[in-house]
Structure 1
Amino acid sequence: MDAANMLVPRAHIQNHSEGTAVVPHWGYADRVVPCTNDAGSCTYLDVVYAAHDLGMYYTGIIWATIGGILLIWAVGRHFSRSQPSGVQLPVQKGEGVNQSRSAIARLSRAVPAYARQYLLPDAARPVFGRVTRTQVLTLVVLTGYLTVFSFVGIIYGKWVTPVKKLPGVYNIRTSLGPWADRVGVIAYALTPLSVMLSSRESILSLVTGLPYQSFNFLHRWLGYIIFAQSGLHTIGWCVVEIRLYQPQPKVAVEWIVQPYIIWGVVAMILLTLMLVLSTPWGIRMTGYEFFRKAHYVLAMVYIGACWGHWAQLKVFLLPGLLVWFIDRGVRFIRTALLHYNFLPSGHMGFRAAPANITFFKDETHGDVVRLDFDHPQDAWDVGQHFYLSFPESSIWQSHPFTPLSLPVYGADSQRHSYIFRAKKGETRKITELSALRTARMTDHEQPHEGLMAEAKLSVVLTGPYGEQTLRGLSSDSNVLCVAGGTGITYVLPVLLDLASRPQSSNRHISLVWVVRRRSDIDWVAPELAVLKRKCPNLRTGMHIYVTRAAEEQDATAPAISEKRTVNDCSKEIEPSSSDASSASISSALSVHGVAKADLGLNHYQARPDLGVVVRDFVAGTISGTTDVYASGPGEMISDLRGIIAGANKGGEVWKGVDRWDVRLTCDDRLEW
């Protein structure tokens, strides 16, 4: 083997001067035929090209499988939406038994209940974080599928061949090279899938109906798989070129300076940087916004480096670039159309939404801001969220917020209401800006009970995004809403929508909200007032748990544990931060406080036992299934997943007992 032939990318040991024809191989270097090298080298080349050709077929099978799954999913969604729910016959009170359904209908309910029973709880939290067993099972199946295709179809062997013009010097040729190529090809093939899993304007969401954020787990772990495959590809060829091929170090030096190898090293460095920055440690060190923007830039440069490394596989790289640019372009267009309105001058143009600010001071746990504004647009679906950016702070950052207001279909303008707590970064800057503007207003005008809603803040919206939580909710389903802190914004629209509709007398609806202080109720006092006026629909009541009552001025007062009757709607709730407001709301709702003194402690605290809450709610239903909507801290969501899993009993659902068919819809993006 002469040096000139070694410098041809992946030309291996082919002798171009003695060949009579060139056979193209898709995604690989052309092969020179006939092979005029020694028998071992020719056999090795047969193995290399056969393994590569099979690998390309396998990547097609992988994508055909992904496409087939998505097609079946889309067809199944279409038919499930088009099927009528059927007429419900009377059921035995207290049992919820429905024997009128066919075996297929009962099976269609029993199988998901069985699946939730075993797949809903968190799986190996120290390794995977707060994700369900369903997501981990999907990852395991995908990993196993890719592992099989990484090894099959390769003839494994070892060939010792002489080095030309160097008597007594031999090359060791093994199947390590073909295998390293195979895992590298699969890493390339997975690149567009990784980009699709990270897209906000998600094609996968359009097909499956799942919100884009539900794919974040697979995106992160698919990135780990691509990193592992790329690393194995790199290590494999380093062993071949630096150790097995002779003479050394001549072969290694001539190999490492080739342009395609330099681009491969650059791609591996970029991939390693993306991995390090995406770890919890990396995000804490650099900040989430830096991680997000750096991830975008590094990912695009990485794809370019992969193109430079092996342009023959650009068929996998180009779709990844296109999907990314389409995602960014659609975001820009949606934002522009959403804000293309009449300007004060009467002309049409881009206009940010002016939001009213209501500021809630809380130096201990973080100040809370409420934004209210009207914006001309179509209604969104309950459960969806918007990305909000604040031009007066930064146009380069946006954060997802769920509107707590109820969309009105057919209206020319929609009311947007948001609440969020300041932590750090952009939300802290916005809170400080809101506090400053509110303070300026109070310097010139008499404040109304400590709150000023006249201060303004410009808001730019992008969206809506996310799932439609009420789609698929049957008319006889019982609804339990559980929220922690600002997570109330996720469940309030559900209750407001249900309260606006005629309700079955057998339908149970309940709200459990956990807050730190009793004054936190004022965040959403107007919405609670609406629910209070229609509280016959909330047959088991609204329950608010105050966890840190000792921090209130009335911490020495006796603990409150009021049990109200279903139709006790005699008092009105008014939005205010005063003690009178809290007392008014307490009289209308069930506000629980358990004295820690009774537990050997020195201040009040109340936390609901979610297991008891869910069990009592399900036991109190008369007929129909139960849908649980939840939002709050990760620990609460994890507990609820296990509790809801235990509440599902597929065998009982098969018998027609609907109460053991319990579903959970949660939004765990919020912390409180």
Structure 2
Amino acid sequence: MVHIQNFTDASSLEPHWGYADRVVPCTNDAGSCKYLDVVYHSHDLGMLYSGIFWATIAGMLFIWTLGRRLLPSRRADEELLVPVRPVRSSPRGGIERLQHALSASARRYLLPDFARPIFGRTTRLQVLSLLVLTGYLAIWSFVGIVYNKWVTPVKKMPGVYNTRTSLGPWADRVGTLAYALTPLSILLSSRESILSLLTGLPYQSFNFLHRWLGYIIVVQSSLHTIGWTIIEVKLYQPQPTVGRDWIRQLYMIWGVVAIVLLFFLFALSTPWAIRLTGYEFFRKSHYILAMVYIGACIGHWDKLSCYLIPALIVWFMDRGARLVRTAILHYTVLPGGEVAFGPAKATTALFPDPNGDVVRLDFVHPHDAWSVGQHFYLCFPESSIWQSHPFTPLSFPIHTDGISCGVQHSYIFRAKSGETKKVAQLARTKLQQAGADAPLTAVILTGPYGETIATHLTQEVNILCIAGGTGITYVLPVLLGLAYQPRSVKRKISLVWAVRQIADIAWVQPELDRIRQLAKSIDLTIRVFVTRETEAQSTMCEKTRYTDESKSTSEPVVISESGETSDSSSKTALPASDPREQPIHRHPDLNVLVKEFVNDTICGRTSVYASGPGRMISELRSIVAQCNDGSKVWKAEERYDVSLVCDDRLEW
């Protein structure tokens, strides 16, 4: 707007936040003055609407946080190892029944995946949140702009006219909103998430909105660029002089740099690009390009730095908090009194597998216990200090006694490619060198992160755990925690685990043995499905039931790697099966298993805990949604109140 104003005859300059100062009074022709009125008024409204947008977000977060403080959930981890009140037999109160009925109705319609080819494995609730945000932004993109056209003469060029339209004010509006959304995008991507502290939602719950908000910013920036390109190279005259002078300006050079970087960010974040270049390249390039992009945006229009500088501050706070977390976990006082940084030393076990070797890590580390459901980022400095990966501990978070004082950590992961494959190769080399001794692997921890699912583990809830492969790490702590609670005769608990081969059970044999020892406190049914071995290759019971009254007295069935029964020196030991049960050598029918579990419950709600391949999680979302019925829950039929708690990190 600077080049069409007459600064020579100006009596004063009128400041406008986030825009160029305006010359007053306007001494241009009537059409240009009217156009300038529309431009500055629309921009001022745009800044106001951006403030309203952020005030709306702040208000929603305030109400959400206040609700969490005023109406906290009863935590099951407070029940562990202490007496608790028995399962209630009386109906719930009206307000509580209404709350659960509404929750069940919402899950029925909002839990399943929505338009998977477009949004991926994303629930309807997340897509609904995106649509609400998009609609809200669409309103602020168009409201308050006077839509008109003004044809004005070009000074000292008779017969040559500029065409001024509301395309300019509208292009400015979407550009302003793109800047205003930048700090929100950074907030949604933060691992040390302020949003998680306020809402209680795990940081990965915001990944979907972060990705699609980035797409919205790409669209807004593109429309802003296209709009002003049309204006400067077509509508303003004379051409090509105006267009050439416009693109040579420093702010425009930075604008070109910013839009090019933004398109690189978009291209490299697509699923096909991540598969082509690898996740680690995507992550690091995303960090670098994003920071340079924000710097280019400041160079393009520094008057809107009020949005961009906070975005940089949030990003650096996130990175700094990660370093502080790691330092707190690993800086310890040595016997000589010195303070030093030292990684944990994990004993390593390797389970060869043609589909990718499985590595198990076990170590004790001195720090506070995490909550069931949370995960840590593990870095293996012997392989690379520049990469870390999220893993869920399969051990129950409780302090150990004795010489190795601390919390027991146990992890398993399948080494397919990249960093995990390097760790497996390193473990194999150490095993060959160490002989019979278990090798040690250095591990640097950062965390814990994620959702605290202990709030769901009350005695009034029936528990169904479903896992696929290494997803067992997410549900085992749930079962181990339940084993510490006083027994409830009405509660039903079941584990469904799908493995490729019978030998895979050796991954978590100590934990299964521990559950067997503690099984007197819970009524537990275990079903293990072998999906890639025939009946002739392995033997597996469909169901092993533990109760106080009837417990298997037979010796464990020991399965060798060849599938033949052998002695206890073999890798996999399982409780003996009821001879009437048939081995399960197929994929589990989750639709039948979940509905059968829900229909067989005596009383109370049901929580389904699940972790595994993406298609399994998507299938479970639809099945659990069908099991919910708000009208029946309102009538005190609590079995139709079924929730799903799943580990969706496998979709990252």
Q: Which bin holds the TM-score, normalised by the shorter protein?
A: over 0.9
Per the TM alignment, residue 20 of structure 1 is displaced from its structure 2 partner at its CA by: 0.6
Distance in structure 2 (CA, Å) of the matches to 1:244 and 1:359: 69
Corresponding residue number in structure 2 for 1:326: 317
Q: Following superposition of structure 1 onto structure 2, how do residues 299-448 of structure 1 map, counting pairs within 5 Å?
A: 299-343=290-334, 347-362=338-353, 364-408=354-398, 412-442=405-435, 447=436
SS at match of 1:394: coil
| Cα-to-partner distance string for 1:5-32 (whole Å, 9 max, x where unaligned) | xxxxx31411000111110000000000
Match of 1:602 in 2: none
Q: CA deviation at 1:494?
A: 0.6
Q: Distance in 2 between matches of 1:582 and 1:435?
A: 18
After superposition, the Cα gap between the structure-2 partners of 1:557 and 1:310, relative to the gap in structure 1 and judged at 3 Å, is closer
Following the alignment from structure 2 to structure 1, what is the Cα–Cα distance between the partners of residues 505 and 538? 18
Per the alignment, do residues 340 and 201 of structure 1 end up closer, same or farther by CA in structure 2, a change over 3 Å counting? same
Count the aligned residue pairs: 633
Aligned equivalent of 1:479, options 451, 459, 463: 463
Deviates more, 1:277-286 or 1:579-588: 579-588
Instruction: Give the 3-state SS of the residue equivalent to 1:70 in structure 2.
Output: helix
Match of 1:523 among 494, 497, 507: 507
Corresponding position of 1:636: 616
Taking the TM superposition and a 5 Å limit, the aligned residue runs for 1:14-93 are 14-81=5-72, 91=89
What is the alpha-carbon distance in structure 2 between the residues aligned to residue 539 and residue 588 of structure 1? 16
Q: Which residue of 1 aligns with 2:645?
A: 665
Query: How far off is 1:536 after superposition?
Result: 4.0
Distance 1:647 1:151, change over 3 A: same
Output the CA distance in 1 between the equivalents of 2:505 and 2:20. 68
- Cα 1:492/1:267, change in 2 over 3 Å: same
Give the gaps of 5 or more residues in structure 1: 1-9, 92-97, 595-604
1:292 aligns with 2:275: no
Distance 2:557 2:536 in 1: 23
1:149–1:309: structure 2 CA closer, same or farther, 3 Å change rule? same
- Kindly indicate whether the alpha-carbon contact (under 8 Å) linking 2:557 and 2:575 is maintained by their aligned counterparts in 1: no
SS of the counterpart of 1:114? helix
**Structure 1 residues 369, 655: CA separation in 2 closer, same or farther (over 3 Å shift)?**
same
Q: Is this contact kept in 2: 1:543–1:592, CA < 8 A? A: no
Separation in structure 2 between the aligned mates of residue 576 and residue 260 of structure 1, nearest angstrom: 71
Query: Which residue identity does 2:289 align to in structure 1?
Result: L
Q: 1: CA distance between counterparts of 2:446 and 2:540?
A: 44
8 A Cα contact 1:535 1:569, kept in partner: no
Which of 590, 594, 597 lines up with 1:614 in the alignment? 594
Q: Distance in 1 between matches of 2:68 and 2:398?
A: 26
Which one of the candidate residues 535, 542, 553 is aligned to 1:570? 553
User: Cα deviation per residue 1:559-598 (whole Å; 9 max; x = unaligned)?
Assistant: 754564643243576999665457740526999644xxxx
C-alpha distance in 2, partners of 1:585/1:101?
41
**1:150 pairs with 2:141:** yes
Q: For residues 470 and 543 of structure 2, what CA distance do their matches in structure 1 show?
A: 23
TM superposition shift of 1:656 = 1.1
Q: Give distance in 2, aligned partners of 1:101 and 1:593.
A: 41
8 A Cα contact 2:344 2:365, kept in partner: yes
8 Å CA contact retained: 1:386, 1:461: yes
CA–CA separation in structure 1 for the residues paired with 2:240 and 2:574: 80
CA change 1:619–1:52 in 2 (3 A) is same
Letter in 2 for 1:70: L
3-state SS of the aligned residue for 2:409?
strand
Task: Provide the C-alpha distance between the structure 1 equivalents of 2:9 and 2:537, rounded to a whole number of angstroms.
Answer: 97
Aligned residue in 2 for 1:239: 230
CA distance in 2 between counterparts of 1:267 and 1:572 reads 69
AA aligned opposite 1:568: K
Q: Does the Cα contact within 8 Å between 2:102 and 2:630 map onto a contact in 1?
A: yes
Other structure's SS at 1:101 match: coil
Further displaced range: 207-216 or 468-477: 468-477
Alignment match, 1:546 = 530
| 1:347 to partner: Cα distance | 2.7
C-alpha change, 1:572 and 1:497, in structure 2 (3 Å) is farther
Partner SS for 1:396: coil
Aligned to 2:498: 514
Q: Which residue of 1 aligns with 2:167?
A: 176
SS at match of 1:470: helix
**TM-score, length basis structure 1:** 0.90
Aligned counterpart, 1:106? 97
CA distance in 1 between partners of 2:400 and 2:506 (Å):
30
Structure 1 pair 533–264 and aligned structure 2 pair: CA distance change class (3 A): same
Q: Which residue does the alignment assign to 2:79?
A: none
CA contact (8 A) 1:477 1:624 kept: yes
Q: Provide the C-alpha distance between the structure 2 equivalents of 1:390 and 1:532, rounded to a whole number of angstroms.
A: 33
Tell me if 1:190 matches 2:181: yes
Q: Cα RMSD between the aligned structures?
A: 2.3
Q: Distance in 2 between matches of 1:640 and 1:82?
A: 25
Partner of 1:262: 253
Equivalent pairs: percent with the same residue?
59
Q: Which residue of 1 aligns with 2:271?
A: 280
Cα separation, partners in 2 of 1:257 and 1:64, compared to 1, 3 Å: same
Deviation at 1:668, TM superposition (A): 2.4
Quick one: structure 1 residues 314 and 134, their matched pair in 2 at CA, closer, same or farther if it must change by over 3 Å? same
1:410 and 1:582 map into 2 onto residues whose CA distance is: 26
How far apart, CA to CA, are the structure 2 residues paired with 1:544 and 1:589?
14
Alignment correspondent of 1:167: 158
Tell me if structure 2 keeps the 8 A contact 1:156–1:174.
Answer: yes
Residue 337 (structure 1) shift = 1.1
> Are 2:445 and 1:461 equivalent residues in the alignment?
yes
Counterpart in the other structure of 1:492: 476
Alpha-carbon separation, structure 2, partners of 1:208 and 1:297? 29
**Is contact 2:528–2:543 with CA below 8 Å preserved after alignment?**
no
Aligned equivalents of 1:150, 1:414: Cα separation in 2: 52
SS in 1 for 2:369: coil
Cα distance in 1, alignment partners of residues 218 and 582 from structure 2? 50
User: Which secondary structure state, in structure 2, belongs to the residue aligned with residue 397 of structure 1?
Assistant: coil
Query: What secondary structure sits across from 1:462 in the alignment?
Result: strand
- Partner of 1:653 in structure 2? 633
Distance 1:657 1:576 in 2: 44
Tell me, yes or no, if the aligned pair for 2:75 and 2:454 is still in contact at 8 Å: no
**One-letter identity of the residue aligned with 1:662:** V
Contact 2:503 2:572 (8 Å CA) reproduced: no
How far apart are residue 440 of structure 1 and its match?
Answer: 1.5
User: Residue 522 of structure 1 contacts residue 577 of structure 1 at CA under 8 Å; is this kept in 2?
Assistant: no
For residues 25 and 127 of structure 1, what CA distance do their matches in structure 2 show?
Answer: 41
Q: Any conservation in 1 of the 2:519–2:546 contact (CA below 8 Å)?
A: no
Q: 1:592 to 1:12 in 2, by over 3 A?
A: farther
Unaligned runs of 5+ in 2: 77-83
Shift of 1:629: 0.4
1:606 Cα deviation from its structure 2 partner: 1.2
Choose the corresponding residue for 2:191, options 174, 196, 200. Answer: 200
Structure 1 residue matching 2:603: 3-state secondary structure: coil
Do 2:484 and 2:521's aligned partners in 1 also have CA atoms closer than 8 Å?
A: no
User: For each residue in 1:627-654, what CA deviation from the matched residue of structure 2 results, as whole angstroms up to 9, or x when unmatched?
Assistant: 1100000010000000000000000011
> Structure 1 residues 202, 613: closer, same or farther in 2, change over 3 A?
same
Question: Quick check: 2:509–2:573 contact (8 Å CA) kept in 1?
Answer: no
TM-score by length of 2: 0.93
1:130 paired residue number: 121
